[in-house]
Amino acid sequence: MPRYHPPLRDMQFVLHELLQVEQTFAQLPAHAELDGDTINQVLEEGGKFTAEVLFPLNHSGDREGCHFDPANHSVTTPKGFKEAYRQYVEAGWPALACDPEFGGQGLPITLNNAFYEMLNASNQAWTMYPGLSHGAYECLHAHGTAEQKALYLPKLVSGEWTGTMCLTEPHCGTDLGMLKSKAAPQPDGSYHLSGSKIFISAGEHDLAPNIVHLVLARLPDAPAGTKGISLFVVPKFLPDASGAPGERNRIYCSAIEHKMGIHANATCQISLDDATGWLVGEPNRGLHAMFVMMNAARLGVGMQSLGLTEVAYQNAAAYARDRLQSRSLTGPKAADKPADPIIVHPDVRRMLLTARAYAEGGRAFTAYVALLIDRELSHPDPEVRKEAADEVSLLTPVVKAFLTDNAWIACSEALQVYGGHGYIAEWGMEQYVRDARINMIYEGTNTIQSLDLLGRKVLMDNGAKLRKFGDQIKAFVEQHGTDEKMSEFITPLADIGDKVGKLSMEIGMKAFMNRDEVGAAAVPYLRVVGHLVFSYFFARMANIALEKENTGDDFYKAKLATARFYFARLLPETAMLIRQARSGSQSLMAMDEHLF
């Protein structure tokens, strides 16, 4: 049956040995006193909560799903979810990385990020409820008025209330310039909002007494397109004079979607019928304000997929060690048994190592990005903050798209390890495949992320941000280029770095002549950049493992084996991807529309 063991050893390796986070935290006044023992203790306690409280609810929650009552527009979450949320709040987990001014614990994003990997691995659907709340907190923290912060942030930080973001409408998904929801100003300074939203995760539930909706809508005199969108805070219950939930606001769940996966999270259709809301940030600058929450969500979706990759790998590996089927091609390995465990077969190992490599590479990558965010938020030097923000901007679409693509691959391979049993619900693997598929779609499809990376983050500044990241890789290559033990990692890393630079320049030149060239190349281009990033981190991890492989700790031997597999079996995908990206738009655009 399904199992989950928080990967604390690898998390500690990434944080302490690879990234040496304490050195960075020492430079950040807000986190200067944080030590490794505290970090490990928080992760250990988080691991207990996720494995013991949330994971047992994952399969049952998927089977039961959410229940919608149209008579009162209410949603009941699966059995055990409400009790788990109460334990989550009582333990103080929502406040982990929040501002102490509003009741938060003030711990780094890096630590919160690692905790969220475990939350998502244990139960992605449940985690989406508090995950969206944290995004709402970040948005209001950055753009809310003093009154809005005082009213909403303490309750979001404590977990007493939860939050959502309401963007998508039936006629517009990614193209928010087509948004139609309206906001009419009222004499008291509030607004009445009308419209319909769809695909609103955690838009209605029974976990908390109030839900803080952040809603995009248009003012009466708003210009067309994305420049005419404003952001509003629209609570489910209007706070009374004491700040407690008062009168029911006119924002309702009209239905919940029947979905392929994440059944235990309520994906809602939301109706606003002159609902009362208040402007957040400046008029017609709502998309700018919402990007705080959207970028947090994109990184969060990457963590969802990392969690699924890890838990799918763990279960497939355990199954492969136990399942007897056929004999090894090189002779029996379990002569006392009627067949060998399937882990002896090369292709089973290929599937397992694919999932393992994508999990370990993703863990290093996302921890690195989270550490950049801590620098961006807390470093005393404004120039360091700006450089960190630029790098986060460059890497965010890669986190979202590359990790979610990889999770789809990894979960499918993990299911395949089980053979026919993987297709049966009781083993839990088919749920991971179903849950993983949405992550490639929401919070901006992976095509949108690819266009963002290539068009906005690379070509728009003539590759300046990408070159800065590339300079780190070049420095590492130069530092270890003469180390014979590192040559198997340094040579392919230097090669892919050179190829990314040339490919970026080639696509940029083509784009001057035909903008469709960007759209044609974007998706394979992002995967190439993703592999560049993973190559860099696997080379760095291999360097540490080489130094410690003779200590007798099998962890480092496994790390080296995984790195070697990555460079031998996964990185070569880039040869095909580069050819695809260079092939241009002609083969895509030549066919007349009526022939499709």
Catalytic site residues? 443
Segment (H or E) for 276: strand 267-280
CB 248 within 8 A of CB 237: yes
| Tally of residues, the chain | 596
Tokens 């005082």, residue located: 150
How far are the Cα atoms of 25, 258, 259 from residue 266, in angstroms, in the given order? 37, 9, 10
CA 586 to mean position of chain CA atoms: 34
Decide the pairing of beta strands 211-217 and 162-166. parallel
* CA contacts within 13 A on the Cβ side of 334: 16
User: 166 - beta bridge partners?
Assistant: 215
* Secondary structure class of 165 (helix, strand, coil): strand
In sequence order, the β-bridge partners of residue 277 are: 191
- Round to whole Å and give the CA distance between 350 and 175: 40
Q: Give the residues across from 214 on adjacent strands.
A: 165, 233
| Amino acid at position 144, single letter | G
Structural tokens at position 427: 């083993």
Query: Rounded CA gap, 64 and 67, in Å?
Result: 9
194: three-class secondary structure by DSSP: strand
DSSP-derived 3-state class of residue 66: coil
Distance from CA of residue 459 to its chain's centroid?
Answer: 24
Residue located via tokens 């209330």: 161
Which parts of 181-334 fold into alpha helices (H)?
286-322
Query: 162: closest CA among 139, 188, 117, 129?
Result: 129
CA distance 182 to 272: 9
Q: b/e for 213-223, b at 16 or more Cβ within 10 A?
A: bbbbbbbeebe
Spatial separation of the C-alpha atoms in residues 558 and 568, rounded to whole Å: 15
What is the residue-wise DSSP string for 525-568? HHHHHHHHHHHHHHHHHHHHHHHHGGGS-HHHHHHHHHHHHIII
HEC letters along 339-388: CCEHHHCHHHHHHHHHHHHHHHHHHHHHHHHHHHHHHHHHCCCHHHHHHH
Q: Are 208 and 192 in contact (CB under 8 A)?
A: no
**DSSP letter (8 states) at residue 225:** G
Helices (H) and strands (E) in the chain, counts: 18, 11
**3-class SS of residue 160:** coil
Phi and psi dihedrals of 578, rounded to 5?
-65, -40
Number of alpha carbons in the 13 Å side-chain half-sphere of residue 13: 23
